[in-house]
Amino acid sequence: MVAVEFPIAYSLSERTWWLRYLIATGFVLVALTLNFLPPAQNLPFLFFFGAVALTARLCGFGPALYATALSAIAADYFFIHPGIHWGFSLMEILRMLLFALVCLLIASLAQQRSKAQRAAEMNQARLAAIVQSSDDAILSKTLDGIITSWNKGAERLYGYTEAEVVGKHVSLLSPPELPNDIPMIMSKLRTGEQVQHHETTRIRKDGTRLDISVSVSPLHDLAGNVIGASTITRDITARKAAEETLRKTEKLAATGRLAASIAHEINNPLEAVTNLLYLLRKNPSLDEKGRKHLSFAEQELERVTHISRQTLGFYRQVSSPSRMDVAKTLESALSVYSHKLEGQSIKVETKWGSGTEIQALAGEIRQVFSNLIANSIDAMPQGGTLTLKVSKAHNWGNGNRRGVRVVIADTGSGIAPEQQSKLFEPFFTTKRDVGTGLGLWVSKSIVQKHEGSIKVRSSVRPGKSGTVFSVFLPESMPASAAA
Amino acid sequence: MVVDDEPVVADTILEILKEEGIDGFAFSSGHDALNWFSRINPDAVIMDVVMPGLSGIAAGIEMRKHSPACRVILFSGQTSAADLLNEARAQGHQFEVLEKPIKPEVLLAQLLGHNGSGALASD
């Protein structure tokens, strides 16, 4: 470990000037007293030298000069010529000068040592400040893994204060599912090896997981023995999340390409079979039973066609806006789910207003409806009521634009208030197993592209739970979005 | 004239048209169709958009140049068709477009009847 030494010298030299002179006076008085002790009878100046040296070391050069003068006067008064007198012999003056010279020499030597130490301390303080202010978490530990220092960055990263962790074992920070991670690092250290940018997981005080990159270097004593390690840890949770998002986006793009090529491959044979069945129906030799079978075949084919349009057609069917009837689009989006609705015994209530035509990208609007209906169905596994309403409307807020409002309401489990604000974020899903977390995000961007708005109200109150999505679409979409 | 790189699609459409008393020829590429176009001089062409070689749009533009009165109905099962159509539209060429798979009834209605009866994806 790094032993940070803060001797008194550092603190004393920072004190006010009068205190330092007072201390100098004290030292001289002590020296004077010691001079009267029997063992010191024949060494009258020795203790004064000591007093000057200590003063220089602890209080600086000024107080040392003062202590020299004080010592000289005291020595003269008490030992050389006891009592007050005037006039000095040459010998006495020389002796005084010699005394002063030796004192100064001692003072300056002591002072230099103190200066060097102060510089070292300043350096250490500067390094400590750098460590403290670092954004990265920096900590040191013994070879046994006991934490010996802990900077502010570590406090921020892990949530523990210095006082809470110093003296504890670093395994405190390791998640239980990675029991070998820290022992592996420690064994590398003991052999003097470094660990560079090791990416792993740690656990915060509040129990949340962190993705981190950690670099560990051994600390040596003066003899070169490994006595511990310093660890620099960087939070890479955000980077990991960004990588994850990128991967998902790429996956999505790949899905889009795949869908486009599958659409082509499926729609051609679908067209051929549709034509063949049509021709078969025209065949006069077909008997009653054959006709019945043919009807079933046509119905089933209709389903395949629906599904193909629904899923594969999502990827940019038509890219210019056209007149479309919102109610008809909603109805056709609903028809795809008739089997599912029946299977989950969901009652459907519809209320179509008249004159609900708008200028929009029909395929994309259909996708919005389809997403919202699918969400509602997923929210009602035990059955319930799905209410769909389409009516002419004016935009609340933003001027007085005319358009169409679509309300899709379910009597499902509802969405908790803390989740409602995140609903439209990409990759947020309340349906862990089946959701991609993209449906509402895509829906919102489509609605916004049409300069419309989408709102949600939801309640989780037992017996009265449910979710209502309300979509407003203006009568005509902005020309800029049509591109 | 029916053009589709899937011969089954072209042939069955031709047969459906025959049922309705409409005569025609089936081709499986835009090039073939274009080569025969002036000799056949059809009233209408039903053509796939995405085909290897010459696309339905490029072939349609050539046919229009030759015989402006000829109706060209394009149909496509692929989403990239939308981009091709946009390009054609930008150059001032407007075609009737149907989405695959299309019901024969709808195709016949489009061919025989009025333009864009609302129920059709005439976009």
User: Between chains, do B19 and A279 touch, taking CB under 8 Å as contact?
Assistant: yes
**Does residue A471 share a domain with residue A328?**
yes
Question: Do A317 and B99 make contact, defined as CB atoms within 8 angstroms?
Answer: yes
Asked whether residue A268 carries a pLDDT value surpassing 70, the answer given is yes
Winning range, highest mean pLDDT, from A26-40, A79-93, A149-163, A363-377: A149-163
The pLDDT value recorded for residue A426 is: 66
User: Is residue A352 domain-shared with residue A438, that is, in the same domain?
Assistant: yes
Q: Are residues A146 and A75 in the same domain?
A: no
Identify whether A2 is part of a domain.
no
Please give the pLDDT value at position A346. Answer: 92
Whether residue A439 sits in one domain with residue A345: yes
**A278-320 per-position pLDDT tens digit:** 999 988 898 999 999 999 999 888 878 866 765 665 544 445 6
Which residues partner with A391 through β-bridges?
A405
Domain extent at residue A69 = 8-132
Q: Which of A271, A272, A316 sits opposite B79 (nearest CB)?
A: A316
In chain A, residues with a C-beta closer than 8 Å to the C-beta of B16 are 275, 278-279
Nearest CA in chain B to A263: B78
- Output the pLDDT for position A456: 92
The pLDDT assigned to A416 comes to: 87
Average pLDDT (A38-50) is 74
Mean pLDDT of A417-431: 77
Indicate whether A460 belongs to any domain. Answer: yes
Is A439 a residue whose pLDDT tops 80?
A: no
Residues A358 and A471 in one domain: yes
Residue A149 has pLDDT above 80, yes or no: yes
* Residue of chain A minimizing CA distance to B82: A318
Contacts with B100 from chain A: Cβ below 8 Å: 267-268, 270-271
* CATH number, residue A185: 3.30.450.20
pLDDT value of residue A438: 67
Min Cα–Cα distance to chain B from A258, Å = 11
Look at residue A147 and tell me whether its pLDDT is greater than 90.
yes
Q: What is the pLDDT of residues B16-34, one digit of tens each?
A: 999 888 999 999 999 999 9
Q: Which residue of A has its CA nearest to B14?
A: A275
Is A229 inside a domain boundary?
Answer: yes
How far is residue A344's CA from residue A280's CA, in Å, rounded to a whole number? Answer: 36
Does A3 reside within a domain?
Answer: no
Range in A400-409, A427-436, B5-14 with the lowest mean pLDDT: A427-436
Q: Which residue has the higher pLDDT, A306 or B102?
A: B102
Q: How many domains does chain A have?
A: 4
| Rounded alpha-carbon distances, angstroms, from residue A68 to A34, A452, B78 | 17, 90, 102
Provide the Cα torsion A449, A393, A439, A458; round to 10°.
Answer: 140
pLDDT reported for residue A462: 85
Percent of chain A with pLDDT over 70: 84
At A390 the pLDDT is 94
In this predicted structure, what is the pLDDT of residue A451? 84
ipTM surpasses cut 0.85:
no
Minimum distance, in Å, between the CA of residue A131 and any CA atom of chain B:
57
Mean pLDDT of A389-408: 82
Q: A281 and A355: one domain?
A: no
SS (H, E, C) chain A: CCCCCCCHHHHHCCCCHHHHHHHHHHHHHHHHHHHCCHHHCCCCCHHHHHHHHHHHHHHCHHHHHHHHHHHHHHHHHHHHCCCCCCCCCHHHHHHHHHHHHHHHHHHHHHHHHHHHHHHHHHHHHHHHHHHHHCCCEEEEEECCCEEEEECHHHHHHHCCCHHHHCCCEHHHHCCCCCCCHHHHHHHHHHCCCCEEEEEEEEECCCCCEEEEEEEEEEEECCCCCEEEEEEEEEECHHHHHHHHHHHHHHHHHHHHHHHHHHHHHHHHHHHHHHHHHHHHHHCCCCCHHHHHHHHHHHHHHHHHHHHHHHHHCCCCCCCCCEEEEHHHHHHHHHHCCHHHHHHCCEEEEEEECCCCEEEECHHHHHHHHHHHHHHHHHCCCCCEEEEEEEEEEECCCCCCCEEEEEEEEECCCCCCHHHHCCCCCCCCCCCCCCCCCCHHHHHHHHHHHCCCEEEEEEECCCCCCEEEEEEEEECCCCHHHHC
Ranges A53-57, A75-79, A288-292, most confident:
A288-292
How does the average pLDDT of chain A come out, rounded? 82
Q: Which of B2, B6, B9, B122 to mutate to test the interface with A (most CBs of A within 10 A)?
A: B9
Q: In this predicted structure, which of A23-27, A165-169, A427-431 has the lowest mean pLDDT?
A: A427-431
Give the sign of the dihedral formed by CA B67, CA B73, CA B78, CA B83. Answer: positive
My answer on whether A363 and A474 are in the same domain is yes
Buried b or exposed e, range A13-52, using 16+ CB within 10 angstroms:
beeeeeebbebbbebbeebbebbeeeeeeeebbebbbbbb
Q: What CATH number does domain B2-112 carry, 3.90.930.12, 3.40.605.10, 3.40.50.2300, 3.90.1640.30?
A: 3.40.50.2300
Domain parsing of chain B, residue ranges:
2-112
Q: Which residues of B touch A276 (CB under 8 A)?
A: 8, 12
Kindly report the nearest CA distance between residue A383 and chain B, in angstroms. 34
Chain A positions in Cβ-Cβ contact with residue B80 (cut-off 8 Å): 260
CA A52 to chain centre: 57
Residue B79 CB partners (closer than 8 Å, separation 6+): A259, A260, A263, A312, A313, A315, A316, A317
Instruction: Provide mean pLDDT across the span A6-35.
Output: 74
Residue A466 lies in a domain: yes
Summarize pLDDT for A318-368 with one digit per residue, the tens: 456 788 899 988 988 888 788 788 888 999 999 988 888 898 887 778 888
What is the structure's pLDDT at A241?
79
CATH number at A407 reads 3.30.565.10
- Is the model more confident about B87 or about B20? B20
CA distance A103 to A106: 5
- Lowest-pLDDT range of A86-90, A97-101, B35-39: A86-90
CA distance B115 to B68: 17
Distance from CA of A233 to the nearest CA of B (A): 49
User: B94 to chain A: which residues are within 8 Å by CB?
Assistant: none
Q: Nearest by CB to A272, from B12, B82, B89: name it.
A: B12
**Nearest C-alpha neighbor of A465 from the set A405, A391, A382, A390:** A382
Q: How close B95 comes to chain A (CA, Å)?
A: 14
- Going by C-alpha positions, the residue among B7, B75, B98 that lies closest to residue A276 is B7
Question: How far, in whole angstroms, is CA A30 from its chain's centroid?
Answer: 61
A176 Cβ contact list (under 8 Å, min separation 6): none
pLDDT score, position A4: 41
Answering whether pTM is above 0.90, one says no
Q: What percent of chain A has pLDDT over 90?
A: 22
Which is higher by pLDDT, A44 or B97? Answer: B97
The DSSP call for residue B117 is: -
Q: What is the mean pLDDT of residues A188-204?
A: 87
Last residue of a domain, one of A262, A284, A312: A312
Contact A268 B77 (CB under 8 A): yes
Give domain status of residue A44, yes or no. Answer: yes
Same domain, A101 and A160: no
CB atoms within 10 A of CB B86: 14
Residue for token pair 């509402």 = A440
pLDDT reading at B38 higher than 80: yes
User: Does residue A1 lie in a domain region?
Assistant: no
Compare CB distances from A317 to B6, B8, B82 and report the shortest one's residue. B82
Ranges A147-156, A185-194, B27-36: which has the least confidence: A185-194
Residues in chain A within 8 Å Cβ distance of B78: 260, 263-264, 267
Q: Rounded distance, CA A138 to CA A6, Å?
A: 21
In chain A, residues with a C-beta closer than 8 Å to the C-beta of B19 are: 279, 282
Give chain B positions within 8 Å (CB) of A271.
6, 9, 77, 100-102
Local confidence band at A478 (pLDDT 50, 70, 90 cut-offs): low
Query: Per the CB < 8 Å rule, is A320 touching B86?
Result: yes
Residues above pLDDT 90, as percent of chain B: 31
pLDDT of residue A227: 85
Task: Read off the pLDDT of residues A441-466 as tens digits, 9 standing for 90 and up.
Answer: 778 878 887 888 999 999 988 888 99
Query: Which comes out higher in pLDDT, residue A26 or A322?
Result: A26
